[in-house]
């Protein structure tokens, strides 16, 4: 033992530390979540998420082009429609806000990997992720709408779809519909282990998707459960998921790790709105160094086993990592 072993020997300079570093974070690991709204020349900052915006497709393109130029290969699109209704019609409309944004982004940046969030909650007036009857969220009737939504995204040119609704059987339903419409090559990134989390608070302001009654606990997972995530992941794999996601990330690093150790497909983690807002708030108050905390968080998510990170920090982190 000591003095033969001195772990500090390999910590003596930055170059040496970089040689023995186990985990690397790179801009190519990031998927940048963005919020598209109707109209033109419109950009509204989300008050609880400084640096994040609701943007019309024209300004969204500027924002996404900056991310692309920083080496961020992919975005995930969330839509805020002009009108909402009980069955979320705007979600699968040919000229819907997301569909229009996909066309515009792919037109300008053909190599950008455009992923779409497949979920009804931004498009329903009750704010739930499925069809509601007698104050209950119905599973099976929702599947058909999700499948339609996924197909309409693929028709608009999306490269990948990401169902986040947590209805049972949705990956299979979407796979079947995509295949039937000639989109057999479009991968599905499943929000496989998505927890009913208070960390989504700021997102619901951003996406205007707060449920108008009750909560999402009848479909999203109980934060106390880790083993159950393996069950969810197993089902999604059988149904044809190409990538599985854990969400949120920070309070669920153990879940990322157990899933990483058991599956052989890519694992993604969603560094969600509340995780982002806490860093921004802490930095603004001067309580912590926002940039360093951000990079440490992203590193921890990679170290836990995530191959890909969905993060609102994508642009600022990429800019720092490129230095
Ligand atoms: C839609 C959806 C949510 C998030 C991603 N897709 C919100 C929710 O389930 O209430 C959260 C993302 C975030 O907090 O950053 N179902």
Across the chain, which has 323 residues, the per-10-residue mean pLDDT values are 97 98 98 97 96 97 98 98 95 96 98 98 96 96 98 98 97 98 98 98 92 96 98 98 98 98 98 98 98 98 98 98 96
Q: Whose CA is nearest to atom 7 of ligand 1?
A: 200
Angle, in degrees to the nearest 10, between helices 57-69 and 97-108? 40
Q: 115, 166, 196, 200: which to mutate for ligand 1, most atoms within 8 A of CB?
A: 200
Among 106, 133, 176, 194, the one annotated catalytic: 194
84: domain CATH number? 3.20.20.70
Ligand 1 centroid to residue 68 C-alpha, Å? 23
Among 84, 247, 280, 315, the one annotated catalytic: 247
Residue 257, domain member (yes or no):
no
Q: For 213, phi and psi rounded to 5 degrees?
A: -145, 155
Residue 306, domain member (yes or no):
no
Taking the CA of residue 210 as reference, the ligand 1 atom at the shortest distance is: 10
Burial group, residue 10, by CB count within 10 angstroms (0-12, 13-18, 19+): exposed
Residue 2, domain member (yes or no):
no
Ligand 1 centroid to residue 72 C-alpha, Å? 21
Q: How far apart are CA 92 and CA 153, in angstroms?
A: 8
Q: Whose CA is nearest to atom 10 of ligand 1?
A: 200
Give residue-wise pLDDT tens across range 118-174.
Answer: 999 999 999 999 999 999 999 999 999 999 999 999 999 999 999 999 999 999 999
Residue 252, domain member (yes or no):
no
CA dihedral angle for residue 56, residue 62, residue 67, residue 69, rounded to 10 degrees:
160
Task: Residue count of the chain, please give it.
Answer: 323
Taking the CA of residue 78 as reference, the ligand 1 atom at the shortest distance is: 6
Q: Which residues pair with 77 in a beta bridge?
A: 34, 116
What's residue 30's pLDDT? 99
Is residue 247 annotated as a catalytic residue, yes or no? yes
Residue 113, domain member (yes or no):
yes
Ligand 1 centroid to residue 20 C-alpha, Å? 36
Ligand 1 centroid to residue 200 C-alpha, Å? 6
Distances (CA, A) of 17 to 14, 24, 56, 270, 320: 5, 12, 44, 28, 18
Q: Name the nearest CA neighbour of 64 among 115, 26, 99, 25.
A: 115
Is residue 176 annotated as a catalytic residue, yes or no? no
Q: Whose CA is nearest to atom 5 of ligand 1?
A: 164
What's residue 91's pLDDT? 97
* Ligand 1 site, CB within 6 A: 117, 119, 121, 129, 164-165, 200, 203-204, 216, 272-273
Q: Whose CA is nearest to atom 2 of ligand 1?
A: 164
Contact 56, 40 (CB under 8 A): yes
For the chain, the domain total comes to: 1
What's residue 220's pLDDT? 97
What's residue 170's pLDDT? 98
What's residue 13's pLDDT? 98
Contacts of 215-219 with CB under 8 Å at 24 or more apart are 216/128, 216/129, 216/166, 218/136, 218/137, 219/129, 219/130, 219/137, 219/139, 219/165, 219/166, 219/167
Residue 261, domain member (yes or no):
no
Ligand 1 centroid to residue 220 C-alpha, Å? 11
Distances (CA, A) of 237 to 216, 224, 245, 266, 284: 23, 23, 12, 11, 42
Give residue-wise pLDDT tens across range 205-226.
Answer: 899 999 999 999 999 999 999 9
Q: Whose CA is nearest to atom 11 of ligand 1?
A: 200
Residue 124, domain member (yes or no):
yes
Residue 312, domain member (yes or no):
no
Ligand 1 centroid to residue 203 C-alpha, Å? 6
What's residue 285's pLDDT? 98
Structural domain of 34: 23-244
Q: What is the 3-state secondary structure (H, E, C) of the chain?
A: CCCCCCHHHHHCCHHHHHHCCCCCCCHHHEEEEEEEECCCCCEEECCCCCCCEEECHHHHHHHHHHHHHCCCCEEEEEEECCCCECCCHHHHCCCCHHHHHHHHHHHHCCCCEEEEEECCCCCECCCCCCEEECCEEECHHHHHHHHHHHHHHHHHCCCEEEECCCCCCHHHHHHHHHHHCCCCCCCEEEEEEEECCHHHHHHHHHHCCCCCCCCCCCCCECCCCCHHHHHHHHHHHHHCCCEEEEECCHHHHHHHHHHHCCCCCCEEEEECHHHHHHHHHHHHCCCCCHHHHHHHHHHHHHHCCCCEEEECCHHHHHHHHCC
Q: Whose CA is nearest to atom 6 of ligand 1?
A: 164
């Amino acid at each position: 033992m000591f003095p033969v072993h001195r772990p500090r020997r390999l910590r003596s300079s930055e170059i040496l530390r970089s040689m023995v570093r186990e985990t690397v974070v790179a801009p190519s690991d990031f998927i940048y979540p963005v919020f598209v709204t109707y109209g033109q020349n419109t950009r509204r900052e989300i008050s609880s998420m400084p640096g994040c915006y609701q943007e019309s497709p024209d300004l969204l393109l500027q924002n996404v082009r900056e991310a692309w130029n920083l080496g961020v290969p992919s975005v995930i699109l969330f839509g805020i429609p002009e009108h909402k209704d009980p069955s979320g019609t705007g979600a699968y409309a040919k000229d819907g806000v997301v569909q229009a944004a996909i066309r515009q982004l792919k037109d300008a940046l053909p190599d950008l990997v455009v992923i779409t969030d497949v979920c009804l909650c931004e498009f329903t007036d009750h704010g739930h992720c499925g069809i509601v009857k007698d104050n209950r969220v119905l599973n099976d009737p929702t599947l058909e709408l999700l499948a339609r939504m996924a197909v309409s995204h693929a028709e608009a040119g999306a490269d990948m779809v990401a169902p986040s609704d947590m209805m049972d059987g949705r990956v299979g339903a979407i796979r079947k519909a995509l295949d039937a419409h000639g989109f057999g090559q479009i991968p599905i990134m499943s929000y496989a282990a998505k927890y009913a989390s208070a960390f989504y608070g700021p997102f619901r302001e951003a996406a205007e998707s707060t449920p108008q009654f009750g909560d999402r606990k009848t479909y999203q997972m109980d934060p106390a459960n880790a083993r159950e995530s393996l069950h969810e992941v197993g089902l999604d794999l059988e149904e044809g998921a190409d990538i599985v996601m854990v969400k949120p990330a920070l309070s669920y690093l153990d879940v990322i790790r157990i899933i990483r150790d058991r599956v052989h497909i890519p694992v993604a983690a969603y560094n969600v709105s509340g995780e982002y807002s806490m860093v921004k708030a802490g930095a603004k108050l001067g309580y912590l160094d926002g940039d360093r905390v951000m990079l440490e968080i992203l590193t921890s998510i990679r170290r836990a086993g995530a191959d890909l990170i969905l993060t609102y920090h994508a642009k600022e982190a990429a800019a720092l990592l490129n230095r």
